């Protein structure tokens, strides 16, 4: 398939095209590049959120791939002002949910509590994105979503975690399979369930 | 300030696909050639700085930043804006243009031009591509026929290295090919089902591409290593580009001089002799103007920029520039319209995967308005596509977060298949480019204004392009098929052509059958500007063949003292 069509079909495991790629907020001005959005504490929080979404199992997890720091870079440089505001407000909302439900910060939750919280947020986000998708035609180029509806902030967190993890060296070479110079092509290579996917 | 050092037998303007060919052909035939490139030099292999990088080697994992989007408001409209090819597209602040109507213009202002970035799909025009204008009363007749170009297709295919099968189809003439790349197991199966479903009237074949499947030691080129990173410059020289193929041969003759940072601002025209005597160059670094003289000139600056040069030349004789006496200069802009097609899921084959990354997919040659078929529009379209198993980017809505999600995304998903159409755009007098009277570029030079739109024929064709793709896949048993007819704006095909067309009559065409400007026969235009119609196949191979043919003619004519 042609590259340009492929890119449009990328759904990033969230039912919504990659935020920060094409604009659901096209034309919105970016913030000043000099204003740092995230500090060390935020990066720790992002690391733990990403780790909850993509935990270490028999293979490395999000923290092993230093996802938090890279997520911060992506939001800082590749999101427009509206997207950044949604993301930053989302982190605050996530912490507020923690406080309300557990009377603690996210970082102080047990792994089970983190999973429970993010699972609920994921459900909320899926419902929101389904509403966005239903406003679409079947036209694939519109899968970037209805520009008038803001996605749920958790969609941004999940998309970024997945993207940053599987495009990291750790994710690509230790979690997925990677061969830099294949040298040949086999269009019918045997595969058995459990074999890893190619990173590139 | 013309001096002996500033005189050459031939000047070639532009170092992309056609300019590289002109330089190669002319130097091999013994001419002293000056190759002018407006951008910086890029040396083969040494300067392919990103060729071995992966996503994790880029600060933003190859995604565009907001700053990049601000700086490249045109480029950001489609896939080319990313970190890996950043700097390989023209700087939009330095070199703006005016969009009377939206036009996506993707330019490569550096040595090798878009030959480093091209899609490499290489198909011949067919016999009817050259006669359709005449038969249908569209625009003007091509002054040449398939038979005129066939030996030149043979010639350029052998040198460039085109991999493909000889499929024996009238609609897509066979050429001189290296062994083809391979369809994967799902594509092969779909191809077989299509053959059965449509009784041979529709085909799915392997793409024909300018990537070599066997080494070309005489050109120091190694066969494709299946990395699929062509657009970063191939350290193996496995795809055809100026740098990998034509330039080294031209350099080896000892007859070539290359001058980067050289913006050609006009062809210098001698009114009395009715010939060009050279070109004026603005050095983009020093802002100094230099003149170079020559017996012949090849304009290969890319379709619109070759026309831009003509528009700025001999304006004391013709207000609209050299070639404007035809009233065709800047007219009949064409592209291939795309962004329309279908995709779906293929059941089964879960015990199969792929190894290696091909530089091509499959091709579906044109079947509309061909044979007995007759539609409510003229011409047709082809499709390019591929089948593959889904990766971690897929939607796994049923899995929320955690170890299960990670495990699922770590394995490949179902097989999917998709294809997008490339439709022929008719030449139309009103689809034009012209010099903007107000806007200037960084160097104070006038810029182009674009006034191009899709007309009724193209819009009618797009309905078929989507419906036929859906029908095609459904006939092959593909499940959950979705058609799409997305946003396309002229230029997005990056196949812009026309604006200085070839023809039989100087009153309606800029160039004759040998790509000579009617009003200055020692000026040749052999890039996309020369096209009289567009076909629906990728055009670069045709530019190569036209250039080699015109160069041969030019040298013969020079020998006979006719230029």
Distance, CA of B375 to CA of B269 (rounded, Å): 47
Reported as a pLDDT band with limits 50, 70 and 90, residue B460 is: very high
Q: Domain count of chain B?
A: 1
Reported as a pLDDT band with limits 50, 70 and 90, residue B421 is: very high
Q: Which residues in chain A have Cβ-Cβ distances shorter than 8 Å to B77?
A: none
Distance, CA of B10 to CA of B24 (rounded, Å): 12
B175 found inside a domain? no
**Nearest CA to B87 among B231, B264, B206, B240?**
B231
B97-156 pLDDT tens trace: 999 999 999 999 999 999 999 999 999 999 999 999 999 999 999 999 999 999 999 999
Reported as a pLDDT band with limits 50, 70 and 90, residue B298 is: very high
Task: State yes or no: pLDDT of A31 exceeds 50.
Answer: no
B329 found inside a domain? yes
pLDDT of residue B287: 97
pLDDT of residue A136: 53
Rounded to two decimals, the ipTM of the complex is: 0.93
For residue A128, the number of C-alpha atoms closer than 13 Å in the C-beta half-sphere is 17
Q: Cβ distance B227 to B256 under 8 Å? A: no
Task: State yes or no: pLDDT of B394 exceeds 80.
Answer: yes
Q: Cβ distance B248 to B261 under 8 Å? A: no
**Nearest CA to B304 among B454, B144, B478, B434?**
B434
Task: State yes or no: pLDDT of B6 exceeds 80.
Answer: yes
Distance, CA of B394 to CA of B403 (rounded, Å): 17
| d(CA A144, nearest CA chain B) in Å | 12
Range with the poorest average pLDDT among A91-100, A139-148, B214-223, B525-534: A139-148
pTM of the model: 0.94
Task: State yes or no: pLDDT of B378 exceeds 90.
Answer: yes
Number of Cβ atoms within 10 Å of the Cβ of B300: 31
Task: State yes or no: pLDDT of B373 exceeds 90.
Answer: yes
CATH classification at residue B5: 3.50.50.60
Q: Which residues in chain B have Cβ-Cβ distances shorter than 8 Å to A167?
A: 55-56, 61-62
Mean pLDDT value across residues A29-35:
50
Average pLDDT, rounded, for chain B: 97
Distance, CA of B13 to CA of B262 (rounded, Å): 9
pLDDT of residue B399: 78
pLDDT of residue B250: 98
Distance, CA of B364 to CA of A36 (rounded, Å): 50
Q: Cβ distance B11 to B34 under 8 Å? A: yes
Distance, CA of A57 to CA of B97 (rounded, Å): 53
Q: Across the interface, do B225 and A183 touch by the CB < 8 Å criterion? A: yes
Q: Across the interface, do A11 and B411 touch by the CB < 8 Å criterion? A: no
Q: Cβ distance B523 to B127 under 8 Å? A: no
Task: State yes or no: pLDDT of A13 exceeds 50.
Answer: no
**Nearest CA to A49 among A120, A111, A123, A124?**
A111
Reported as a pLDDT band with limits 50, 70 and 90, residue B277 is: very high
Average pLDDT, rounded, for chain A: 83
A131-140 pLDDT tens trace: 777 765 444 4
Tell me which residue has tokens 């200069």.
Answer: B329
Distance, CA of A153 to CA of A14 (rounded, Å): 12
Task: State yes or no: pLDDT of A142 exceeds 50.
Answer: no
pLDDT of residue B512: 98
Q: Across the interface, do A191 and B392 touch by the CB < 8 Å criterion? A: no
**Nearest CA to B402 among A116, A99, A96?**
A116
Q: Across the interface, do A187 and B188 touch by the CB < 8 Å criterion? A: yes
B408 found inside a domain? no
Q: In chain A, whose CA is at the least distance from the CA of B355? A: A186
pLDDT of residue A17: 59
| d(CA B180, nearest CA chain A) in Å | 12
Reported as a pLDDT band with limits 50, 70 and 90, residue A29 is: very low
| Probe site for chain A from B353, B360, B420 (most A CB atoms < 10 A) | B353
Q: Across the interface, do A186 and B412 touch by the CB < 8 Å criterion? A: no
pLDDT of residue A138: 44
pLDDT of residue A150: 83
Range with the poorest average pLDDT among A16-20, B305-309, B491-495: A16-20
The boundaries of the domain holding residue B511 are: 1-44+107-164+232-334+426-453+495-563
Tell the burial category of B441 from Cβ atoms under 10 Å away from its Cβ (0-12, 13-18, 19+): middle
């Amino acid at each position: 398939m042609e590259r340009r069509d492929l890119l449009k079909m990328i759904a990033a495991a969230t039912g919504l095209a990659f935020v920060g790629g094409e604009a659901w907020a096209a034309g919105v001005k970016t913030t000043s590049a000099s204003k740092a959005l995230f500090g060390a504490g935020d990066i720790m929080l992002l690391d733990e959120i990403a780790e909850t979404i993509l935990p270490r199992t028999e293979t490395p997890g999000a923290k092993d791939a230093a996802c938090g720091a890279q997520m911060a870079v992506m939001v800082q440089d590749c999101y427009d002002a509206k997207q950044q505001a949604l993301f930053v407000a989302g982190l605050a909302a996530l912490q507020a949910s923690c406080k309300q439900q557990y009377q603690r910060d996210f970082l102080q939750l047990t792994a089970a509590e983190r999973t429970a919280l993010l699972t609920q947020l994921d459900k909320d986000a899926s419902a929101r994105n389904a509403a966005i998708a239903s406003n679409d035609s079947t036209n694939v180029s519109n899968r970037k979503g209805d520009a008038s509806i803001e996605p749920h902030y958790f969609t941004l967190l999940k998309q970024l975690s997945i993207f940053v993890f599987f495009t990291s060296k750790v994710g690509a070479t230790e979690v997925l399979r990677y061969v830099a110079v294949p040298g040949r092509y086999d269009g019918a290579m045997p595969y058995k369930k459990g074999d890893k996917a190619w990173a590139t | 300030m013309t001096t002996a050092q500033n005189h050459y037998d031939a000047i070639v303007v532009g170092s992309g696909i056609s300019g590289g060919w002109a330089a190669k052909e002319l130097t091999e035939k013994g001419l002293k050639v000056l190759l002018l490139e407006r951008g910086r030099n890029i040396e083969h292999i040494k300067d392919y700085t990103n060729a071995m990088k992966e996503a994790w080697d880029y600060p933003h994992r190859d995604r565009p930043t907001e700053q990049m989007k601000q700086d490249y408001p045109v480029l950001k409209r489609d896939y080319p804006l990313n970190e890996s090819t950043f700097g390989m597209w023209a700087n939009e602040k330095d070199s703006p243009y005016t969009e009377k109507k939206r036009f996506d213009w993707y330019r490569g202002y550096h040595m090798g031009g878009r030959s480093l970035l091209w899609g490499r799909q290489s198909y011949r025009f067919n016999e009817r591509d050259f006669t359709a204008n005449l038969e249908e009363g569209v625009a003007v007749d091509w002054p040449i026929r398939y038979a005129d170009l066939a030996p030149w297709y043979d010639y350029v295919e052998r040198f460039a290295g085109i991999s493909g099968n000889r499929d024996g189809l009238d609609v897509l003439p066979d050429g001189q090919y290296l062994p083809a790349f391979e369809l994967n197991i799902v594509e092969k199966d779909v191809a077989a089902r299509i053959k059965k479903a449509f009784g041979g009237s529709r085909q799915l074949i392997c793409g024909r591409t300018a990537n070599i499947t066997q080494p070309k030691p005489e050109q120091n080129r190694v066969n494709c290593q299946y990395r699929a990173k062509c657009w970063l410059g191939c350290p193996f020289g496995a795809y055809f580009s100026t740098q990998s193929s034509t330039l080294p041969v031209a350099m080896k003759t000892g007859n070539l001089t290359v001058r980067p940072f050289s913006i050609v601002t006009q062809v210098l025209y001698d009114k009395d002799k009715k010939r060009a005597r050279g070109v004026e160059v603005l050095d983009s670094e020093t802002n100094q103007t230099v003149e170079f003289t020559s017996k012949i000139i090849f304009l290969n600056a890319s379709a619109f920029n070759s026309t831009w040069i003509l528009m700025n030349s001999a304006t004391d004789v013709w207000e609209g520039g050299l070639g404007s006496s035809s009233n065709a200069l800047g007219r009949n802009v064409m592209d291939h319209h795309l962004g329309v097609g279908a995709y779906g899921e293929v059941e089964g084959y879960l015990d199969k995967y792929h190894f290696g990354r091909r530089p091509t997919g499959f091709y579906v040659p044109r079947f509309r308005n061909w044979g007995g078929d007759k539609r409510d529009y003229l011409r047709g379209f082809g499709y390019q596509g591929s089948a593959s198993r889904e990766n971690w980017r897929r939607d796994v809505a049923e899995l929320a977060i955690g170890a299960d999600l990670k495990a699922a995304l770590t394995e490949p998903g179902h097989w999917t298949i998709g294809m997008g159409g490339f439709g022929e755009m008719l030449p139309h007098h009103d689809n034009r480019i012209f010099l903007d009277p107000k806007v200037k570029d960084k160097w104070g030079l006038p810029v182009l204004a674009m006034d191009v739109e899709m007309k009724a024929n193209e819009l009618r064709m797009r309905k078929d392009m989507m419906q036929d793709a859906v029908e095609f896949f459904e006939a092959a048993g593909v499940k959950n098929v979705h058609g799409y007819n997305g946003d396309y704006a002229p230029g997005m095909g990056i196949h812009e052509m026309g604006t200085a067309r070839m023809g039989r009559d100087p009153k309606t065409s800029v160039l004759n059958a040998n790509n000579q400007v009617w009003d200055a026969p020692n000026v040749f235009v052999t890039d996309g500007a020369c096209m009289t119609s567009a076909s629906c196949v990728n055009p670069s191979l045709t530019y190569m063949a036209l250039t080699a043919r015109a160069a041969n003619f030019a040298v013969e004519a020079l020998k006979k003292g006719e230029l």
